[in-house]
Structure 1
Amino acid sequence: MFERFTEDARDVVTGSAEHSERAGEDSITEEHVLLAMLDQEGTRAAFAFASLGITDRRASVEHALAEARRRGGLSKADEDALAGLGIDVAEIVSKVEEVDGQGALQAGGKPRRWWPGRRPFTAAAKGVLERSLRIAVGRGDRCIGGEHLLLALVARPGVVADVLAEHGATYEAVERAMFGGGGGGGSAKAG
């Protein structure tokens, strides 16, 4: 699959590994993929981020991702479902942090690398890569670019998609920003 990646998509993969390493994590997550995309300039994804105002609100995006990590990686949908059962996630996080300290629910710890210098992708991050292929094929594109990775990120339910949607970057808005009105890849979203 990687042989079909354009240079900007390969840069996203490399950048996501660098973000994972800087964070001291043992694997590459969807969040790292997003952060690597936000680092890029001159790509379709960068254009979409700029036109949707995400570039100017990067600090807000990073803060929202950090808050989600603080909540143990729960997405907005997870939090809403728990609230429907009468469970207040903010209260639980607060009580756990009173006892165990700030960020106690965050995944972390010492990296457990199997191969020096290599970090595996989490199942969710692999899912983004796989979905980007389906999106590219659905659009009739021969290569997988950063634009396909971005569409895959916003199409996949979870924290990253929630944070982007809260900042105005829904699947439809991103597709419109990158490809104009028609898009042609709507059916690839569900895949």
Structure 2
Amino acid sequence: MFERFTKEARVAVIEAQDWAIEQQVAEIDVPHLLLALLGASDTAAVRLLVESGLSIDLVVEELNAIRRRGGLSDADAEALEQLGIDLERVVERVEQAHGEYALADRAEGSRRGRFAGRQHRPFTHGAKRVLEHSLREAQDLGDKDIGTEHILLAVVTQPGPTADMLATYGIDHVTLRRALTRRRAS
């Protein structure tokens, strides 16, 4: 399947590994794919993300906040709030007792240690699903090759904190699909 990726999409997949290495985690996950897409050369995916107000720094900040909360997104925090649970207060108390990023370290558990020093990182199940789904996105749009826009479309369909974070910026599958269709028509 990798042979069907455009040059830019291949570079993004490879750079996702660099993000995992930089963050000292053992596996390449969906957020790393998003960060790599944002760092790609001027592509349709990058233009759509930037037009929505996203930047690498902003995404890193948002994803670190999610990581700090043990992987819980803003949507999760809102759901807990409705139950009378203040997630930020819980995180603060846990960090007072156990140190900064205690929930993140617990949630990542064994993923950190085993491969943290090595250069090669395997993909998480979620990241693999994104790459597989990007092929379906390309096929649905009638494209032969898989580009960064197809990976981005697949990222927003993968349930989890990354898609939730993108949704808060108005980036969802329907919006992206419409924007890509409009760009192709013009």
Classify the TM-score, shorter chain.
0.7 to 0.9
CA distance, structure 1, for counterparts of residue 29 and residue 120 of structure 2? 14
Q: Is the 8 A contact 1:51 1:177 kept in 2?
A: no
Name the amino acid aligned to 1:13. V
8 Å contact from structure 1 (residues 4, 144) kept in 2: yes
Q: Which runs of 5+ in 1 are unaligned?
A: 184-191
Q: 1:117 to 1:64 in 2, by over 3 A?
A: closer
Match of 1:149 in 2: 151
Q: CA RMSD in A?
A: 2.4
Give me the TM-score of the superposition, normalised by structure 2: 0.86
1:73-128 per-position Cα deviation (integer Å, ceiling 9, x unaligned): 01233333333443332222111011011111113575312995321111111111
In the aligned structure 2, how far is the partner of 1:6 from the partner of 1:94?
44
The unaligned stretches of length 5 or more in structure 2 are none
Which residue does 1:174 correspond to in 2? 176
Measured against aligned partners, the alpha-carbon deviations of 1:52-84 in whole angstroms (never above 9, x if no partner) come to 2324xx433221111100000012333333334
Identity of aligned residues (%): 41
Query: For 1:66 and 1:116, how far apart are their aligned partners in 2?
Result: 22
CA offsets, 1:24-74, max 9 Å, x none? 11000111111111111221111212332324xx43322111110000001
**Residue 15 of structure 2 corresponds to residue 15 of structure 1:** yes
More helix by share: 2
Greater mean alpha carbon deviation, residues 126-135 or residues 22-31: 126-135
Pick aligned residue for 1:128 from 107, 130, 154: 130
TM-score by length of 1: 0.84
